[in-house]
Structure 1
Amino acid sequence: MISVIIPVYNVEKYLNECLNSVCSQTFENLEIILVDDGSTDDSSKICDEWSAKDSRVRVIHQLNAGLSEARNSGLKYCKGDYILYIDSDDSIEEDLVESLMNLIEKHNVDIAMCTHRLKVNGIVEKRPFNSKIITGTVNELLKFIFENGLWHAWGKLIKRELALEAKFIPRLIYEDYENTPRLLLNAKRIAISMDGRYIYSVRGDSIMEQRKKSTDVDFAKITDELLKLYEESNYSSDNKNFVCSFLFKQLVYNYHITISWNINKTNEFILYSRHLLRKEKSKWLKCSLISWKRKIAYLMIGYLPFLYDNIYRITHKARLNLDSQSEL
């Protein structure tokens, strides 16, 4: 049996479509756990309605504790041999579960995952299904996972014991970014399907959309912890070098977004990012995949931040004005 864990919070507009796609799966041996995380709209009622008409649906009602705790609650009560997380405003193709289960059985892997397509304003991205399947050890595929944005919690069929070993940290923002690396550390082999069977809904009112102009300090703290995690791992030196480059590039990318829209000198993410670039200077200076141009930028952010920030805002003024006008 497969346990599908769906955290639910104020998604009355999207929940029926999500549950219809899950309950209509060609693979029917499912346990569908809906964790109502203190919804204040009709989401709770919709959950109970689905439970009444489909015996596979189980509802957990709890006080609002956040996305991480909602997923952990689902893990606590699930009984399946494999775990699949789905976000309640997303949907899946009718054969997603079956296709991932086939990958696990055929290739004897611990985790099977798939790529996703975007759904914007009710329109799903048109992309021909790609039949390409990639298998290997995590060490062999780590770079591919990062480069293709496959670090989300959703869209992965995970062996039960691995999921239980990688519970989510409560009240943490960007919880996927922190959780997936820990999950992968314990996996031996994985399979990746490039078929786009997971449909990711882009919502203007979603938490991630609201954070596009400002990054929470959790992102910098997670980067700090991931640098330690990978340094202590058994991954190859090439992978460690790649991850070091990737993590710092992502940190500074979000730093640029935040300083573009936020001039608050006490912004926690901005201050922590500068601190981290100073503290881990030896790591990024030694990293061969980080160009000297980037290294100079990192030095300036860490030690001459006000000069760097002003130069960045001035040199990117035209783009920032364009972005600002597009918001009107």
Structure 2
Amino acid sequence: MKPFVSIIVPMYNVEDYIEECVNSLLRQTLRNIEIILVDDGSPDRSGEIARRYCGKDARVKVIHKKNGGLSSARNAGLQAATGDYIGFVDGDDFVAPAMFENMYGAAKKDDLDIVMCGFHKHSDTEQAYFPPPLPAGRLLLSWDIKHELKRAHESRFIWYVWRNLYRRDLLKQNQLFFYEDIRFAEDSPFNLYAFYAAKRVKAIDEGYYMYRWNPQSLTEVPYKPYMDESLIRQYRAKKRFYETFQLLDECADDLVTYMCKHQIPMLLANACAEPKPSKQVRRHIKDILSYRMVQSCVKATSIRNTKLLTGQRLVLLLCKLNVPILLELFFKRNLPSKG
């Protein structure tokens, strides 16, 4: 019987968490699912643990591949998926037992292309709930979705694929895959295309997904050597999306403000987290300030922009003045930081 939902789980260095993750999927109240565990060349025991599950439950499939990053692992899962809908769960996270039954039920009831839910972010000491950024319980049609795209970065509804359930035919017919050369914040370009292609979308205000704060995960480590190139490629992919669908004029302010509010500070904080002497850190900052995307966004954004916080305005001013030494002092004072 064809599975209702395919759940794609990329794995890399998650041997401490993968059992809790897979167990939460095997406990799903929706039984007709397939679980695709993608071993992305993990050097730990993740692949071995996955094979053990495969031998216990016919719904579990395992893909072993050469390391290519999260996008590559998700693409491998997409190629193998056979379900009517597709969900993503990261190997160090877990989900509520009714997640896929309730989301699949909502999708079938309203013939949805994408269903979104909320999530809990938790650690050993605390937990916080993040509701879906789209209007909960409201059926969004094509016009509504395109209106939301004008504030996609402000509302952050294009963040994260793991809180969404996607109709597989939507992804297949539009040939939607993840950019494999983007190794950080790869979700948002994928979601821009997916939501633009969707005709019917709904959000459910329930925290079905459990995002684990893992200090060793790719998103949490202080310094990421691949960040600059990834964010440049991400920016180019987003601009290409807006240009392709003639949305650049309507969406430019949202993108540029986001760059100055989040991604340029993220680049600068990352440079300052690099374990190198100040002279080399300042050279890196100078390089960042010379990037075409940084220069155009800094030039287009006023320091009076009311969407920027005081610290973000100060960073923007220092970027406009091109003073690497003061930027270094600012971010090193505020480390550890993700921007």
Post-superposition shift, 1:208?
A: 1.3
Over aligned residue pairs, what C-alpha RMSD do you find? 3.5
Query: 2:7 matched to which residue of 1?
Result: 4
**Cα distance change of structure 1 residues 127 and 179 upon mapping to structure 2, 3 Å threshold:** closer
**Structure 1: distance between partners of 2:232 and 2:36:** 32
CA displacement, residues 45-95 of structure 1 (integer Å, 9 cap, x when unaligned): 211111111111111122222221111111111111111111011000011
Letter aligned with residue 101 of structure 1 = Y
Alpha-carbon distance in 1 for matches of 2:60, 2:316: 50
What residue is the counterpart of 1:138 in the other structure?
A: 145
Using structure 1 for the length normalisation, give the TM-score: 0.82
Provide the C-alpha distance between the structure 1 equivalents of 2:306 and 2:130, rounded to a whole number of angstroms: 33
The aligned residue for residue 230 of structure 1 is: 242
- Please tell me whether residue 186 in structure 1 is matched to residue 188 in structure 2: no
Deviation beyond 4 Å, 4+ runs, structure 1 = 126-132, 212-215, 234-240, 265-270, 279-285, 287-291, 293-300, 313-320
How far, CA to CA, are the matches of 1:299 and 1:319 in structure 2?
Answer: 17
Correspondent of 1:78 among 81, 84, 91 = 81
Cα 1:127–1:193, aligned 2, differ >3 Å: closer, same or farther? same
Relative distance call for 1:149 and 1:188 in structure 2 (3 A) is closer
Structure-2 residue corresponding to 1:153: 161
Unaligned runs of at least 5 residues, structure 1? none
Aligned residue number for residue 247 of structure 1: 259
- 1:303-322 to structure 2, matched below 5 A, reads 304-305=321-322, 307=323, 309-314=324-329, 319-320=334-335
- When residues 270 and 69 of structure 1 are mapped into structure 2, their CA distance, relative to the original with a 3 A threshold, is farther
- Counterpart of 2:287 (choices 262, 271, 280) is 271
Alignment of 1:23-38 (within 5 A): 23-38=26-41
Task: Pick closer, same or farther for the CA change 1:319–1:297 going to 2, 3 Å.
Answer: closer
Give the distance between the partners of 1:256 and 1:92, measured in 2 at CA: 34
* CA distance, structure 2, for counterparts of residue 255 and residue 62 of structure 1: 30
Matched, 1:98 2:101: yes
Q: Which runs of 5+ in 2 are unaligned?
A: none
Q: Paired residues, what number?
A: 318
Residues in 2 aligned to 1:314 and 1:266: alpha-carbon distance in whole angstroms: 10
- When normalised by structure 2's length, the TM-score is 0.79
Counterpart position of 1:301: 319
Compute the displacement of 1:245 (Å): 1.9
CA distance in 2, matches of 1:252, 1:66: 23
For the structure 1 residues 155 and 318, does the alpha-carbon distance in structure 2 shift closer, same or farther, using more than 3 Å as the test? closer
Residue range with higher mean Cα deviation, 216-225 or 275-284: 275-284
State whether residues 265 and 315 of structure 2, in contact with CA within 8 Å, keep that contact through their aligned partners in structure 1. no
Q: Identity rate of aligned residues, in percent?
A: 26
The whole-number CA distance in structure 2 between the counterparts of 1:11 and 1:192 is 29
Conservation of the 8 A alpha-carbon contact between 2:183 and 2:226: no
Equivalent residue number for residue 62 of structure 1? 65
Letter in 2 for 1:53: K
* Conserved? CA contact 2:36–2:62, under 8 Å: yes
* Letter of the 1:30 counterpart: I
Contact 2:5 2:84 in 1 (8 A): yes
